[in-house]
Amino acid sequence: MAHTVRDKQKLLNRIRRIRGQVEAVERTLEGDADCSDVMHLLTATRGAINSLLAEVLEDHVREHVLGRTATGTRADAADELIDVIHAYFK
C-alpha cells in the first residue's frame, strides 16, 4: 500500500503512542488501581486505535477505491475494504 509507505513514520509514531497507552493500562492493572481509572485508559486506547484505523481506511479509499489503483480494480479494492470492516465489527 503506497499510502502506508508514504505515511510510514506518522503511522509508526501513532502506534508507539498506542503501545504506551496499552502499557499504561497494564501498569494500572498491576497497581490495583480503581476500575474507573482502568476504564478511562481503555477508552482512550480504543479511541486512539479507532482514529488510526479511520486514517488508514480513509487513505485506502482515496488511494485505491476512488482513484490511482496500480493493480486490480476498484471492485477488488472495495472488497478488501468491506472485508476489513466486517472483521472490525466482529
pLDDT tens, residue by residue, 29-83: 999 889 999 999 999 999 999 999 888 888 877 777 776 555 667 777 778 788 8
- Please state, in angstroms and rounded to a whole number, the distance separating the CA atoms of residues 56 and 61: 9
pLDDT of the residue at 29: 94
- Please state, in angstroms and rounded to a whole number, the distance separating the CA atoms of residues 38 and 25: 6
Q: Average pLDDT of the chain?
A: 84
C-alpha cell at 89: 465489527
Q: What is the mean pLDDT of residues 2-16?
A: 82
- 90 pLDDT tier (thresholds 50, 70, 90): confident
Domains and CATH numbers, the chain: 2-88 (1.20.58.1000)
Give the other-Cβ count within 10 Å of 51's Cβ.
12
